[in-house]
Structure 1
Amino acid sequence: MEPFVLAGNHVRLSVPTVADVDRITEICQDPEIQRWTTVPSPYRREHAEGFVTTIVPQGWAQENGFTWAVRAPGDVRPGDPEPPVLGMVDIRLDDGPPGQRSGEFGFWTAPDARGRGLMTEAARLVVDFGLDPEGLGLARAVWRAEVGNWASRRVAWKLGVRVEGQVRGMLVHRGDRVDGWIGTLLPGDRREPNEPWPADLVAHPGSRGRRPSS
């Protein structure tokens, strides 16, 4: 599949390219991104280069992983530079049979773009594309995050993800087994919170999901 743009009122999603390498390298130095996602640590420029030249195009070509850079909205004419990266969002498909596949979506947001609702809008665009019969036609979207990553859970909550469990040792982070949350969203589910946000929890600003592993 050829990469394409997804656009909303406040974000434009387009494939990350070599022009974004320095910006991605800068963003991925952020301690919060390194704490909660699977990006390499320490993060070097070569990791960003491999991400945009190998991991991203392979996912699109094999049609099992679709990655977008989150940017400011607006039209970009051919040959014009894209706006700077504000975050990254992807959806990765399992190997289920046609019509029964699921996709796990993940994301991270640059420190200077947090607290503005950009990732919620971006993730909604990606999830809608994944679950739409005219898009990927997935049977479900899956969200996972390490326990304690309330910023990621807040985005999932706003999208209507039903958090269905806390699983001991579900994820591997920096070589260690850690407890994780898991939730799902089905095509017929409403894209809005399905339960109150716990009143005794203070959501952290920003959005840092488990992926993409740039």
Structure 2
Amino acid sequence: MNNFCMGRLFSALCILLIAATSCEQSRSGPTVVEGQVVERISGKPVPDAFVQLYQPGKTFSSGYSKAGDPYRTDGNGNFSFSYDAETESSYLLMGHSNKGHYTDWQEAPNLSNGRKNKDVKVKVNAPAWVRIKLIDELPKSKVWLAIAGYAGPVDNLSFPKDTIFYRFTTADFARRVTWEITDTLAIKTLRYQDYYVAGMDTVTVEIKF
């Protein structure tokens, strides 16, 4: 086969590929989704969770927004629903639960418009908790504490006393709680404790001052 024929064949294949891609992107209409919400690390199903459909905004900077109401899973994390897909709109599926499970954006599955999406696995991070136990050792002292290393903002405490409180964290990751102690002479002491906690479990961090 000469170079001219090879060139024409290559051009034809490119046109077919572009047409197929364009057709796939422009699909619309009834779309069925069936799958299960599972914990990302353990693979265990998450009962009575929710899945939420997201679609991109009309402009590049508008990001994704919710498309309709969430759908609830059954006792084994299974779900099944349908929606009318819009042309040239890509959809993501996110999962969450009332206990604190959630899907990372980068792990949200993409759905194929206008067709049946079967065996869709929606992976969610399992929740866990850090139990912070403050211990004011003798002699009693007045200090300021700044504590971080879990979900949410830094806890800034003035003249704390013996107490216990809980903070939400993401399970199955090696993490570190750090705290800075500042005394009345403005002398600062930095300490930390590494921790790893399984899903739906609690780890205790003792902070003595």
Is TM-score (shorter-chain normalized) higher than 0.5?
Answer: no
Q: TM-score range by the shorter chain?
A: under 0.3
- Give the TM-score, by structure 2 length: 0.26
**Larger Rg belongs to:** 2
The structure in which a higher percent of residues are helix is 1
